A = this chain, B = another copy of it.
Amino acid sequence: MLRNTVADKLRKEIDNLTPLEKQLSDVILQNYPVSGLGSITALAEAANVSTPTVARLVQKLGFSGFPDFQRTLREELDETISSPLTKRDKWVHNAPDEHILNSFTKAAIDNIRQFLSDVDPKEFDRACKLLSDENRRVFVVGGRITRTLADYFFLHLQVTRTNVTQIASNSSAWPHYLLEVSKGDVIVVYDVRRYENSMLRLAQMASERKAKVILFTDQWTSPIAKYASVIFRNRISVPSSWDSNITTMLITEALLAKLQEHDWKNTKKRMEDLEVMFDRTKFFRK
Contact = CB atoms under 8 A, between A and B. Distances in A.
B74 A37 contact: yes
Interface string A23-41: 1001001110010011000
Quickly give the copy total for this chain: 2
Nearest to A220: B22
B121 A94 contact: yes
A75 to B, nearest CB: 8
Interface string A184-200: 00000000001111101
A244 interface: yes
A117 interface: yes
A233 to B, nearest CB: 8
Given A29-B118, A151-B151, A196-B284, 4 more contacts: A34-B77, A101-B124, A101-B254, A105-B116
Interface of A: 7, 11, 14-15, 19, 22-23, 26, 29-31, 34, 37-38, 71, 74, 77-78, 81-82, 85, 88, 91-95, 99-102, 104-105, 108-109, 112-114, 116-122, 124, 144-145, 147-149, 151-152, 155-156, 194-198, 200, 219-221, 223, 225, 233, 238-242, 244-246, 249-250, 253-254, 256-258, 260-261, 267, 271, 278, 282-286
